[in-house]
Amino acid sequence: MSQHIAIRPLISSNNKILPGYFSANSSSRSVEPDQYARFTTGDNDKGHQRNSRSQHDRSFLASPVTYTLLAVNILIFVAMYVAGHGDVSSVSTLFGDKDNQLIHSGQWWRFITPIFLHGSLLHLGSNSLFLYILGSQMEQIYGSKRYFLVYMTAGIFSFIVSYIYSSVPSLGASGALFGLVGAGMVFPVRFRALVPEQARSQILSQLLFTAVVNLALGAYPGSHIDNGAHMGGLIGGAFTALFLMPEVLEDRPKTVANQSVASLFCAFLLLTSAIAGVNQWKWAHQQEPLPAMVQVGFGLKGQDPWWSLSLPASWKQSKPAVWTIGNGAEFVIEDSASSPAAITQAALLIQKNQKGVSQVSMDGQKGYHLILQGEGKVVDFYLVRAYDRFILFQLVSPSAVYTGSLREYTLVLSTVRFVHAPEKVAPIQSIAPPKP
């Protein structure tokens, strides 16, 4: 399934996420322990020399990587908005979201490209705000190169974990931002001798609170948040930070030797990201234009539809719940209220073929995915439990045209939206959830 998920990003209601934490003189690259203690506590004696900048410099020269990332994210979102005629979700696959099926087919670059994509203006705005607040501070502590390593490594690792644990497509910078939170947690623990206990406690409690709140939001039903990516980013950022010395604490003068390793890794990530972008651009230009879509609502006659999806205008409805795709394939929808026998059969097939079943989330509702092949046909189906109903989506296709039908099928499933609980109908057969 290629379901677009608009990830809710990291949001903090308090701009002072790390009060006193990143108040170090960002131009200093040789910091004594007693000086660092003053930085973290804000206690500056008269003998301590500071430059004319504020405690935290938010200029471009102080945080060039952060501002560049902000610009790239905004420009790509504008391109998605234009290409999708205002609907960025319709072009997320073309721009490189994390899509398990496409990654499995060899598109490795989809571990990188989703870091720079966003599913809505709110998604972009809240992630950008968090990047501006925390990212610029982290960059002045770790230095631009090492900060870039943390950000990109965390972002890539977040989508690797998401690929392993979730078949639902996702995108967004929040995994990389969780990596910055992870690096922020490592800092006061790794250098605990330089950070006063009170400051350390405050830093860790605030970062932990930020992480826990956002993970809790991701666990809320219907949140559309990829918590697998968030956890992956948090771990990736923390792990990377274990091997990096923040520049504000480095007591060695800058030399070619002690800068070369970070420079090489940065060059590798930049080159790999550029190759990823080129590969995605080439692939997108090889795709056919997206079909015109027609929204279809489902519910009792005379009632507001409790769920809906969009179907290509070229599909023809041959039966009440069957659409022909035009190449011999059919798209079928069954509901436990009207077709309990079909739902029961699907549940039995899932229980029988446990090794081939993957758990999925469709618009916040949990379900199961299974592909069966035989007698020259492929049956690709999703059984989703929405509120007190089960809904079955099936693509029944001749094997020869299955790949050609898959693109429109996954596009249709990405448009599924559950609006509210269904109307009560009696009787509704109770079906136990399958246990793969």
Sheet containing strand 307-312, edge to edge, reads 293-298, 307-312, 417-418
Helices (H), 242-379: 256-286, 340-352
Tell me whether residue 174 is one of the annotated catalytic residues: yes
Q: Give the count of beta carbons closer than 10 Å to the beta carbon of residue 220.
A: 11
Length of the chain: 436
- Can you tell me the distance from the alpha carbon of 68 to that of 62, in angstroms, rounded to the nearest whole number? 12
Q: How many CA atoms lie within 13 A of 20 on its CB side?
A: 20
What is the Cα 65 distance to its own chain's centre? 21
Would you give the DSSP letter of residue 252?
S
Tell me whether residue 224 is one of the annotated catalytic residues: no
Q: Give the count of beta carbons closer than 10 Å to the beta carbon of residue 113.
A: 22
- Can you tell me the distance from the alpha carbon of 373 to that of 399, in angstroms, rounded to the nearest whole number? 8
Rg (CA), the chain: 25
Tokens of 317: 């409805």
- Can you tell me the distance from the alpha carbon of 179 to that of 153, in angstroms, rounded to the nearest whole number? 8
Would you give the DSSP letter of residue 162?
H
Options 4, 123, 224, 230, the catalytic residue: 230
Q: Measured at the alpha carbon of residue 33, what is the angle toward residues 30 and 35, in degrees to the nearest 5?
A: 75
| Residues belonging to the active site | 174, 230
